[in-house]
Amino acid sequence: MEKVTKPRYAKNGDEAIFSQLRQDVSILVQQLEPKRRGSILLKAVFFPAMYLFTYTAILVAGNQPGIFYPSYFLLGVFLVMIFLNIIHDAVHNTIFPDKKLNQGYVYLFDLMGANSFVWRQRHIRFHHNYPNVNGWDTDIEQSNLARIFPTGSALPIHRFQHIYMPLLYPLYLFNWLLVRDFKDFFNKKKTIWKLVTFPRVEYVKLFAFKAFFLFYLIVLPKLVLDVTWLQVITGFVIMLLTASVFSLMVLLSPHANIGSEFPLPDESNSLPHHWMMHMLTTTNDVTNDNWFIRFFMGCFNYHVAHHLFPNVNHIYYPEVTSLLKKYAEKYNLPYRQYSLGASLSKHYQLLKTNGVTEDIFEETM
Ligand SMILES: [Zn+2]
């Protein structure tokens, strides 16, 4: 694909509010930093250790079905927790002051089956720069099966997407890890090719890590344990199903819903809002908040703060969000928060609404 020019954000006066907010956030983070550094490092050790411990339990005690299947289930849970608490922050360079150490941690993602090179590009250069922009947000890249963008091309099958998409969602990670990563590398029509050139070495890493992922989760347990191929594949399927459902509860709630805008660039490639306003109109928080969400779910419910301050570790987001809410009230900014149930139901409504398209020909004939 020919490399194309990126859309630009409008300049309309919100810059001053945002730069004031940014200053306040940086003071806040400096104040909290000495107390919080320990928790950031604790997470960076605790979650991978739990994954490794669970995997070891499979190899050591997996001949007992009461350990074998629940361990694969737990691997699915820890996969998502490692993603939310560590990999996601590492890709934004917010765990360690040293960039190289952060980059090293991102390889955990490759060990857990996802290609980190392609995800870094998708997440930073596309999703974070252009959330909810059709043709640029790779998190909701249009596939023929679903019409998430109101401006996406419509097919008759989309009328039923609110029925079949929720049934397909448990396959989310099977698609990501075993199909989509390969498509991004080999199909030059994919959005990522608009900006990215793939170095040769990344193709080698792609195949090497995917093979290693399948080897240690399927082949090695089969060799070590007294289990059938069917049992070991069932374990692997349990792991990915668990991780898919768990991760989608988090990933579907902050952007792709009926309450969000899906702004488009005009003829001169300019987006309608200032950058900060774009993040506020395309992103919402989820109100459910407790110690479990803060420690285990990487504060993903504070998603507006993440989009405004991706270079700040998630551990500070509850306080950053309190500050943001004060700004929203003072300057009348469109900050939105829904309960988890409400945001998932708004996602469902989006599927339903975008599935129905007015067909001009039908009406006029
Ligand atoms: Zn992010």
Could you read off the pLDDT of 284-321 as tens digits, one per residue? Answer: 999 877 888 788 888 888 999 999 999 999 999 999 99
Per-residue tokens: 62: 């997996």
Mean pLDDT across 256-267: 88
As to burial, measured by CB atoms within 10 angstroms (0-12 exposed, 13-18 middle, 19+ buried), residue 255 is buried
Task: Give yes or no for residue 117 having a pLDDT over 70.
Answer: yes
CA of 357 to the centre of ligand 1 (A): 32
Mean pLDDT across 215-236: 97
Kindly list the distances between the CA atom of residue 22 and the CA atoms of 148, 280, 309, 320, in Å, as whole numbers in the listed order: 32, 15, 8, 10
Candidates 7, 304, 280, 255; CA nearest to 126 is 7
If you compute the radius of gyration of the chain from its CA atoms, what whole number of angstroms results?
Answer: 21
CA of 164 to the centre of ligand 1 (A): 28
- First and final CA of the chain: distance in angstroms? 39
User: In this prediction, what percent of the chain has a pLDDT beyond 70?
Assistant: 96
What residue type is assigned to position 190 of the chain? K
Structure-token match 């991706």, residue found: 310
* Secondary structure class of 286 (helix, strand, coil): strand
Q: Where are the alpha helices (DSSP H) in the chain?
A: 15-61, 65-82, 88-91, 99-111, 116-120, 161-168, 172-175, 181-186, 200-214, 220-224, 229-251, 275-282, 291-296, 303-308, 317-331, 340-355, 360-364
CA of 364 to the centre of ligand 1 (A): 45
Average pLDDT over the chain reads 90
Task: Give yes or no for residue 360 having a pLDDT over 60.
Answer: no
CA of 120 to the centre of ligand 1 (A): 9
The model's pTM: 0.90
Residue 296: per-residue pLDDT: 85
Alpha-carbon distance 276 to 310, whole Å?
A: 12
CA of 124 to the centre of ligand 1 (A): 7
CA of 58 to the centre of ligand 1 (A): 32
CA of 123 to the centre of ligand 1 (A): 6
Structure-token match 């299947």, residue found: 69
Task: Give yes or no for residue 171 having a pLDDT over 70.
Answer: yes
CA of 102 to the centre of ligand 1 (A): 14
Per-residue tokens: 187: 């199909």
Structure-token match 């089956």, residue found: 113
Candidates 353, 324, 249; CA nearest to 18 is 324
CA of 314 to the centre of ligand 1 (A): 10
